[in-house]
Structure formats: C-alpha cells, structure tokens
Amino acid sequence: MSCNKSYITTPIYYVNDIAHIGHAYTTIIADTLARYARLIGEDTYFLTGTDEHGQKIEESAKSRGREPQEYADEISKKFRDLWDNFDISYDKFIRTTDAEHKKGVQKAFSTMYKNGDIYKDTYQGHYCISCETFFPELQLVDGEFCPDCGKSTSVVEEESYFFRLSDYEDKLLEWYRDNPNCILPKSKRNEVIRFVEGGLTDLSITRTSFDWGVKLPSEFNEPKHVMYVWLDALMNYVTALGYGTDDKDMDYWPARVHLIGKDILRFHAIYWPAFLMSLDLPLPKHIGAHGWWTRNGEKMSKSKGNVVNPKEVADAYGLESFRYFMLREVPFGGDGDFSQRALMDRINSDLGNDLGNLLNRLIGMSGKYFEGRVESDLVSTYYQDELDEVQDSLDKLEPFIFELQLHRFLEELWRPLTVANRAIDKYQPWTMIKEGKTDETMALNGLIATILAKVSLMLHAVMPKTTSTIAEALGFEITPENFTRYIRNGEQLSSFTIEKREPLFPRIEEELLVDERLETLKKEKEAEEKKAKESKKKVTTTTEGVTLIGIDQFFQTSLKIGTVVKAEEVKKSKKLLLLQVDIGEENNRQVVAGIKEWYSAQELVGTQVCVVANLKPAKLMGMKSEGMLLAAKDVDGLCLIRPEKPKIDGTPIA
C-alpha cells in the first residue's frame, strides 16, 4: 500500500470551541501517520487548520460582542498554539478565512457550475445551526429536533443554489465497491453504502440568511449568497495545495488519508467525493473515521462540565504517554472512555515495566559486567531464534499503520519487548557471567540493545522524544537510513557505550485526578514565585513618588457602607461575581466585582462591604457595574475592607 507521496489531513476545527481530547485524538493519529511516512522516506505533506465560517461562528462571535474575524483569529490561534505545544508536525495550517482558500472555493463553484452540476432554486427545510445541516422533516426527532445533536431546528425558506448530488449516486456506489479500503474501518463503508443506496437528494450549497462566509464568484452577481460552510470547509483539502490559485502543491493530491471522526463521515464519504468528481479531480485513497471519546460513559460537553482538556492531561502525565495511551487504548473506529486509571496503568505497565525498565536492565547489566560497553557482533551466533522472532513481528507491522489499526500496531510492537525481557529471565546473565560465559553475556546485551533500537525506530512516530532519547542512549539516530538498516535489512546495532540515566517512565503510584496533580504543580509554582517576589520587594511605605492630594479631592469620592443582598457567579468568567448591594438607596446597586478567586457568591450574601458609590457605571462582560468594592491585595491574595462593627447601609465613610 506504499506510495511515494503521502498527503495526510485532519479535519479543520471549528473556531467556536476550545480543543478537547477528541480534537487532540484526530490530530495525534494524523501526526503519527505523517511521522511514520516521513521516516520510511515518503514525501509527506501534513495539513491541519481551522474552519471559520458559518452561522454558528457568526452567532458565537456576536454573543460575545465580537467581530467574527477577530473572534476567529483568537480561537484559531489557540488551536495552532496547542498543536505547536504538542509538537504536531504539520506542514501547513490552513484557515478558511485565508484569501487563497476563498479564491479556491470560488473557482470550484464556477467549475462545478460550468460542468452543469449547480442550479438555482428555492429551499424550504429544517436547519440545524449547530450542525450546519438541513434535515428532511422525516428525520427530525419529535418533528423538531436535530437527529444528530438533539438541538432544536428552525424552518428556513430561502433562495439557494443546489449541487446535483443525486446525479452522483451510482458513481459513488461504484467507487465504494471498487475500493474496498476507501473508507476505514470497513464496517463504516457498509454504513455509507446503505445510506447512499437509500437515495440522495440534491444539496443546497448557498445561504442568504447570514453573511459570514465565502461570497459567490463575482460573475454570478449574487451579493446576498454565501457558500454553504461544508462546501467551503471540504475544499480546504485542495485549496491548501494551491487549487484555484497557483496549484503549487497539487502533486500531493489525492490524499493518502483524511482522518476524521465518525460524526463527519457523511460529509467526507458522500459530499466530498461527489464534489471532486464534479471537479474532475481524483478521489482520496482513504477516509479514516475514528470513534468518539466519552467521559465516564457520557458524551463530553461544556454544559456537563466533563470535557477533558488535552493540555492538562499532557501536562499532568506527559505528552508522549498520552499519545501512546490514546492510540493503544481504543481500536480505531470504536468509542473509548477516558479514564485516568487506564492511562496510569498503561504508563506503569506498558511504558514503565516493558519498555523503560528494559533500558534500565541493559544499563545495569552492561554497567556491571562491561563498564557500559555493548557489542552486537555475536548476537546471531547465540540468539538467532530470538532475532528471527523479533524480525518476524517487525515485518508484519507496517500494514497496521496504513490500515489505521494503531492499537494493533502497538500491541504487536510490544512482542519484541517481550522477547527481550523473556531472554533476560531465561538466560540469566548474572549466572552466565559467573560461569565465565562472557561472550554469551555480551551478546545478550547486544540482543537487548538491538531490540530496543528496532522498537524505538518503529515507535518513533508515536513517541518521538522518548524514542530519540533511547536512540541517543544506544548510540544511534532515528533517521530514514537507519530505518532501512535496522528494520528493512534486519541489521544489528553497532557497538557503543551506554551510560546511566534517569528512568524514562517513573512509576505513578496513586490515582490522582488531573486537577489535583495540576493543583499541586500550580501550588509549588506559586510558592516559588511568592518567595522570589518577597525577597525582591517589601511593600514600600514611603510617600516618595506618590501624588499628594488635598482633602477636598479625597471627599470627591463617595464611599459608603453597604450590604450584599444577592450574589451570583458570572458564567464563563473565572474572576467575576455579580452582586446586588444595598447602600441605603431606593434601588440596590449592581456591582460586578473581580473577586471570585477569593470569595464564593454564597459567603458574601448578608455581609457588609465598602462601596465607591459615585463611579461612572461601566460594562463588564456585557453587565452594568454601578460601583466598586474596597479591597486590599498582597502576595497572599485579596481581602475585602469591611466595617469593624455593623453599620446602617448607606453610612458614609470618611
């Protein structure tokens, strides 16, 4: 299944959400494939990016009082920063708001039109904004709700351009049948076939009900129409290569694999190939649809507050362990439940015991018997059976990668490690050395080192840093040339000297929640910062540099005692509380105070505070604030200034 050019893509992520482990999962699989393809010498192009148009994003921006472009810039950057932080080896990060992309989409629209695949009509249908999809009435749940996400749909009637999807039914079915691996896993292909056999209706591909999208090409003279977001989004896979502009990288097309989640299979396996056929472009080789990650068996959602943040998991357990876990834990295509217990078990057992400990054993044995020297010349003399068994396993591995069976790939890759650990237990180097079998003992170390080297090369795409560390310890580098030598040609490692080093995967003893682990790290960091600050500056008590004011100026500020009568948290804000304070006036004052880190809403109700009562009202997160509370903040945090004894509300402070 090998080819010289490998174009690998992730979906482009919507900019109305922050990244969670589902997004990280798709990206990590794609990154692994891209790294593997590069290591075996393929000319690889790896694309990821963000999907920024559409009604959903326009509304998200509006609800935050932001312009869509500015809002998209911010969230897109967050995705990009996360992938950079995760060392994702993408070659291009595309944004659907890029000028070249927009040109490419317009070019595609004109071409499809010229090819007779687009016509104008009126659309009446039930639209789900959340999924950016129309649904026939029959598919709605209880006649109203979206069959995919369960949210309420709205009836939309508008003038629209249509794509003749129905004309492609037979051609699509032919493609699925002639290419049994075009959709992976294969079970998903059957689902798609059944769906298409049920009949396809033409697809509405422009909208007039909102603005935030790619405009139609000028020759259409349709200023009210913008492109349907899925037409816009899917085109990213070719516009990134220069389709519609300079065609610069179009020789990477067709994609070797589009990695996606199962929820967006229909768009990729039906619409996308039909669009490509209309454009006379070749079809992707594979579309790989993975399953969903849940949390304690439940779908992750912001409203449930059970979203797993990939950065937190990676910070708490290590990025590469997290990568290994995600790929090893769940068969591709199946759903997986995220649990820290499972993650820790994988780290302690597969990574710590089987892999990390093998390196320790090698360091220990070669240090004790040969001052760190490891030689492999006699490995085949004494351990040919083990070498054969290892090579046999390695030879079977590659298809698993490109058939996207990464869990099987990793499972099989652990066999050589078992061979190595078993060989130590079986031949007992500590006995051999006592019996004077120096050559056999050295050759055993050579066998272990050779196995570790081969496993590192194969594992590199999943755990790039860890395997480079192992390679460094074993005196070689992970390169395509060495991949050919040690994996393809079955060579043994050259001689080298190994030094003592820290264990790769220190055992994790307790089950700690990510939050707790992070909390501990945060506290340690804060304590350090506090110490550093304290040693640097004591609170300055001189009046030097302070502007002196007269008493009149002081009395221009109206300070009053008040009682908090109501307090609530401001949703989506880490800092703000919304308070109603009685300061003896007819109406309570609404105060938005940045004190949530130090006070809960509950504990404030009924307590007295000091209010600056003649401030100009201001807006914070869209809420009016009509005053300010007096407070003092030092390195230990913030405390409110309160009267020593209860005072009547409205009592002036002077």
Q: How far is the CB of 261 from ligand MSP (least distance, A)?
A: 2
Tell me if 184 contacts ligand MSP by CB under 6 A: no
Residue 12 vs 410, nearer CB to ligand MSP:
12
Tell me if 13 contacts ligand MSP by CB under 6 A: yes
Q: How far is the CB of 600 from ligand MSP (least distance, A)?
A: 31
Using the contact rule CB under 6 A, the part of the chain among 11-19, 172-180, 203-211, 621-629 near ligand MSP is 11-19
What would the two tokens of residue 515 be? 């939050």
The 3-state DSSP class for residue 275 equals helix
Which of 163, 293, 317, 483 touches ligand MSP by CB under 6 A? 293
Residue 320: name the closest of 347, 358, 357, 293 by CA.
347
The 3-state DSSP class for residue 130 equals coil
Which of 42, 51, 117, 626 touches ligand MSP by CB under 6 A? 51
Residue 60 vs 492, nearer CB to ligand MSP:
60
Which of 6, 11, 326, 570 touches ligand MSP by CB under 6 A? 11
Report d(CA 38, CA 259) in Å as an integer: 17
Q: How far is the CB of 75 from ligand MSP (least distance, A)?
A: 10
Quick note: the x/- pattern for ligand MSP over 216-245, rule CB under 6 A, is -----------------xx-x---------
Is 15 within 8 Å of 72 (Cβ atoms)?
A: yes
Residue 226 amino acid letter: V
Report d(CA 172, CA 401) in Å as an integer: 26
Tell me if 23 contacts ligand MSP by CB under 6 A: yes
Using the contact rule CB under 6 A, the part of the chain among 23-31, 144-152, 460-468, 620-628 near ligand MSP is 23-31
Residue 14 vs 93, nearer CB to ligand MSP:
14
Which of 6, 7, 8, 22 touches ligand MSP by CB under 6 A? 22
Q: Give the bridge partners for 578, in sequence order.
A: 568, 592
Q: How far is the CB of 224 from ligand MSP (least distance, A)?
A: 24
642-645 contact pairs (CB < 8 A, 24+): 642/607, 642/608, 642/609, 642/610, 643/561, 643/608, 643/610
Tell me if 26 contacts ligand MSP by CB under 6 A: yes
Tell me if 592 contacts ligand MSP by CB under 6 A: no
The 3-state DSSP class for residue 46 equals strand
Report d(CA 198, CA 190) in Å as an integer: 12
Interactions with ligand MSP, residue window 241-280 (CB under 6 A): 260-261, 263-264
Torsional sign, CA 458, 459, 464, 465: negative
Greatest Cα pair distance in the chain: 98
Report d(CA 178, CA 181) in Å as an integer: 9
Report d(CA 447, CA 424) in Å as an integer: 10
Q: How far is the CB of 189 from ligand MSP (least distance, A)?
A: 17
Tell me if 12 contacts ligand MSP by CB under 6 A: yes
Backbone angles phi, psi at 410, to 5 degrees: -70, -40
Count of residues near ligand MSP by CB under 6 A: 19
Is 352 within 8 Å of 360 (Cβ atoms)?
A: no
Q: How far is the CB of 131 from ligand MSP (least distance, A)?
A: 9
Q: Which residues bind ligand MSP (CB under 6 A)?
A: 11-14, 22-23, 25-26, 51, 233-234, 236, 260-261, 263-264, 292-293, 300
